[in-house]
Structure 1
Amino acid sequence: MSQTQAPLTYEEIVRLPKVLLHDHLDGGVRPSTVAQLADETGYDGLPTSDPSQLAQWFRENADSGSLVRYLETFAHTVGVMQTADALRRVAREAVEDLAADGVVYAEIRYAPEQHLEQGLSLDDVVEAVNAGLREGESLAAEQRRTIRARALLTAMRHAAKSTEIAELAVRYRDDEVAGFDIAGAEAGNPPTRHLDAFEYLRREDAHFTIHAGEAFGLPSIWEAIQWCGAERLGHGIRIVDDIEGLGTSRVQLGRLASYVRDRRIPLELCPSSNVQTGAATSVAAHPITQLRDLRFRITVNTDNRLMSDTSMSREMWLLVQDAGWDREDLRWVTINAMKSAFLPFDERLAIIEEQIKPGYEAR
């Protein structure tokens, strides 16, 4: 940071344009909406119906340090997202919340197969979420905020619907769906089990990212890239296992780390979430800063705004406060994210030139 440059305030960060590539729809529901939808849909599994207590419950249970326990909190949000109206509302509110936080482009991911318990079809789920995304964009525009929101359709690693979900993503790629993702517990569920889905997506010129290198190490990253052809890595934090001397003057990249950096494969890093699941000890010690210094194609993301009680502004604020980041660092990772978005090149360039660069130049 320059000696003459004052540290960014939280309010300044909120005003900066942001790009979000890794945000789960079922991980970003408003606590009040969870409570209201539970009442409306008859879901009786919530630990409490008080929104403030519910928010605290989600945060405390997600803070266990275990990815498995972290994922268990989603049973409640998914439980109330089983109707078209609920899905539409949650998607609309997600876009509103992101726009209010200064996000100008977002890819919001969810697993359609998890929302079929009350009779919806996969197409019903996608169409309800798409409608909510469009409504959220319109409501943001009414408040003089500009945001483009698109969906990533996620398949679950432990299930057998990946090809069906991949086909769904291709079917709706001209209607709000940006691409495909695969998620769930990494250990014991390698992405290579779903090669048919990835080969189909590549034949169809479709975009996809893969959750890899979050709680499991280099083999997960290697398979995601070299076997499955991932364009981006969801998290990818464990790439540091292939870097010797990280944080010292004698850094040595292994072959996989070198490949990831050389090919500019984007890492969808989520600092607060990684601390919660035990992938990092703190935001200050998170390897995102060392990976920045080594010029990996890093991006900053929220992962699950409800479970981490976070936002893009808060993630950036923590990096400024705890890891010494400045405006130029935030600008760089924002442009990185926009370059890496699953959006046509001319549209990415327009957002960079017309929204991001002017937004970071303004004081």
Structure 2
Amino acid sequence: MLTSAERGPARVPDRVLRDLPKVCLHDHLDGALRPATVVELAAAAGHRLPVEEPEALGRWIRASADSGSLVRYLETFQHTVAVMQSPEALVRCAREYVEDLVADGVVHAEVRWAPEQHTAGGLSMAEAVEAVRLGLSEGVLAAEDAGHIVSVTQILCAMRHAERSLEVARLVVDNRDRGVVAFDLAGPEDGFPPVRHRAALELLADELMPVTLHAGEAAGIGSIRDALATGRALRLGHGVRIAEDIEIEEEDGVAVVTLGRTAEWVRDRGIALEVCPTSNLQTGAVAAFGTAPERHPVDMLYRTGFTVTISPDNRLMSGTSVTGELASLVTHFGYGLEDLEQLQRNAAAAAFLPLEDRSALEGIITEGFEGMHG
């Protein structure tokens, strides 16, 4: 495997990255709020924040996420979720989410969130889903009026440690023609396997609804196997610990790669990994490989043929974006336009869209990157 130094200096200027057409597959709505929006919504809802000035709140959230303390990391979501309990708040957050995608050069995104966490203000889960749908639609229409191409769909999450997954699965099915494209299990991965949600997963399989499960982040290979076998996952949320099922040895100066059975299954069948590099470092998902960005196994996975896609996970908590994550790959692994284009093609091909829409998305990517090459 070539190191970034062996591949030479980065070839993509920072000014180019934001204009590249990008696809985002793993992005949490409650982790993508603007600090100023959190402050305003908290004041309206009577929710007390640890810091009440937007820039200072943003710094506090990022410091908490970087602290190495799971308690402090999760506390940040308590504040964002708390201000997303009314239709008006959900509409606003969804609309601003689309605006931020456009500013980031994203042409297609699948935003995920857990409706069961947004009923404290009296909303039903169905009403919450409709509010987010409305906000996303407003954002997309405004973007189109301004001359920007963007599409956004929803992935509904059920919480692994809760008991409402069957309700969420039914909500996914009921809204399949209203912009909801898939189901996810989020929350604590270790100790809460997909088998606890068998009824929901069987319903989704019977209804031929796509599933992408968080797996290979807080737990290892066994969790990934379970997501594939029990969950019938078509993509893996994060999935980076699949790298623990790979051995690389040097023989006469040549890298020899040996894949375990699970890694072989994932790679050979093109099961997309929704990799979120900055978040993975914050949560310790890749601690076995090191704590520095250049030690993240994303490059090894990409170079050994896995279907790697790149997303921010939680824009607010990680202080990042799709552009920011790609910039890190350029800096730490020497990625050039060809690499970045392949990552976007991977994401377009893995999107939960009809074949015709995926083909059109790939065309947008091709055209956008050709313009940069030229």
TM over 0.5: yes
1:253-281 Cα distance to aligned partner (Å, 9 max, x none): 10110011111111000000001111231
Question: Residue 151 of structure 1 aligns to which amino acid in structure 2?
Answer: Q
Does the Cα contact within 8 Å between 2:326 and 2:340 map onto a contact in 1? yes
1:165-215 Cα distance to aligned partner (Å, 9 max, x none): 000011011111111111001111111111111110010011110000001
Q: CA deviation at 1:69?
A: 3.8
1:250-308 Cα distance to aligned partner (Å, 9 max, x none): 22110110011111111000000001111231321110100011010110010000000
Query: Which residue of structure 2 lines up, in the alignment, with residue 55 of structure 1?
Result: 58
Residue ranges of structure 1 left out of the alignment (5+ in a row): none
When the two chains are superposed, the root-mean-square deviation of aligned CA atoms in Å is 1.7
Does the Cα contact within 8 Å between 1:210 and 1:233 map onto a contact in 2? yes
Query: Which residue of structure 2 lines up, in the alignment, with residue 28 of structure 1?
Result: 32
Kindly report which structure 2 residues correspond to 1:227-238, keeping only aligned pairs within 5 A, or say none: 227-238=230-241
* Match status 1:261 vs 2:267: yes
Change (3 A) 1:68 1:224: farther
Question: Residue 337 of structure 1 aligns to which amino acid in structure 2?
Answer: A
Residues 191-200 or 154-163, more deviating: 191-200
Question: Residue 316 of structure 1 aligns to which amino acid in structure 2?
Answer: L
Does the Cα contact within 8 Å between 1:192 and 1:224 map onto a contact in 2? no
Match of 1:312 among 298, 303, 322: 322
Question: Residue 259 of structure 2 aligns to which amino acid in structure 1?
Answer: L
Q: CA deviation at 1:309?
A: 0.5
- Distance in 1, matches of 2:31 and 2:10, equals 34
Change (3 A) 1:82 1:340: same
- Distance in 1, matches of 2:197 and 2:12, equals 44
- Distance in 1, matches of 2:255 and 2:268, equals 20
Residues 234-243 or 244-253, more deviating: 244-253
Residue ranges of structure 2 left out of the alignment (5+ in a row): none
Q: Structure 1 residue runs of 4+, over 6 Å off? A: 1-6
Does the Cα contact within 8 Å between 2:24 and 2:310 map onto a contact in 1? yes
Fraction of identical pairs, as percent: 50
Query: Which residue of structure 2 lines up, in the alignment, with residue 356 of structure 1?
Result: 365
Does the Cα contact within 8 Å between 2:112 and 2:154 map onto a contact in 1? yes
- Distance in 2, matches of 1:97 and 1:263, equals 33
Alignment length (residue pairs): 361
Match of 1:11 among 15, 25, 31: 15
Q: Secondary structure at the match of 1:360?
A: helix
Does the Cα contact within 8 Å between 1:61 and 1:70 map onto a contact in 2? yes
Does the Cα contact within 8 Å between 1:169 and 1:177 map onto a contact in 2? yes
Using the size of structure 2 for normalisation, the TM-score is: 0.93
Residues 187-196 or 151-160, more deviating: 187-196
1:204-255 Cα distance to aligned partner (Å, 9 max, x none): 0111100000011111101000122101000001101111127971221101
Q: Secondary structure at the match of 1:332?
A: helix
Does the Cα contact within 8 Å between 1:156 and 1:183 map onto a contact in 2? yes
Match of 2:344 among 334, 337, 351: 334
Kindly report which structure 2 residues correspond to 1:140-219, keeping only aligned pairs within 5 A, or say none: 140-219=143-222
Q: Secondary structure at the match of 2:214?
A: strand
- Distance in 2, matches of 1:181 and 1:3, equals 37
Q: CA deviation at 1:65?
A: 2.8
- Distance in 2, matches of 1:29 and 1:99, equals 15
Match of 1:277 among 283, 299, 323: 283
